[in-house]
Copies of this chain bind each other. A is one copy, B any other.
Amino acid sequence: MIDQQELSIDTSGRGSNDITDAVQRLVGASGIKKGICQVFIFHTSASLMLCENADPDVREDLETFMARIAPDGDPDMIHTAEGPDDMPAHIRSILTTSSLSLPVDKGRCALGTWQGIFLWEHRLRPHNRRLLVTTMGEPGS
């Protein structure tokens, strides 16, 4: 049994967006009780991550970390067509992931207590980001 649904997220510029509830709703609506759920983003300058979901400081620290290893306006970068945050956005996407593969149990993504699913916008300006959520598995009683 396979269910595939698009998800559209408007970001407000660089930063992380908790999409856990949106993904859980799609998995719940699919009727699939056990299997896997793949969350995929159709972009190379925004990415996905599973991250600590309780303290927003964690995600602020992640921005600090990324700004250190992949800073905007890096003079060594030659792909700057869309501005100083263009290439850093690609680097940050490569270092995280475009695709999350999650387990499904009892009709929901089985996550740890402190795990949330985040869309991480790496561009400075707001963007509309499209995702595809594919759930595969068996229906249950």
Contact = CB atoms under 8 A, between A and B. Distances in A.
Given A112-B43, A115-B44, A94 B62 contact: yes
Interface string A54-66: 0101101110110
A124 interface: no
A112 B62 contact: no
Could you tell me the dominant secondary structure of chain A's interface residues? mixed
Contacts of A55: 79, 81
A78 B43 CA distance: 30
A19 interface: no
Interface residues of A, number: 59
Contacts of A94: 49, 51, 62, 95-96
A27 interface: no
A112 B57 CA distance: 31
**Most chain-B Cβ atoms within 10 A of its Cβ — which of A41, A60, A78, A112?**
A112
Interface in A85-102: 87, 90-91, 94-102
B115 A132 contact: no
Interface in A42-85: 42-45, 49-52, 55, 57-58, 60-62, 64-65, 68-70, 76-79, 81
Contact of A50 (B4, B34, B98): B98
B35 A2 contact: yes
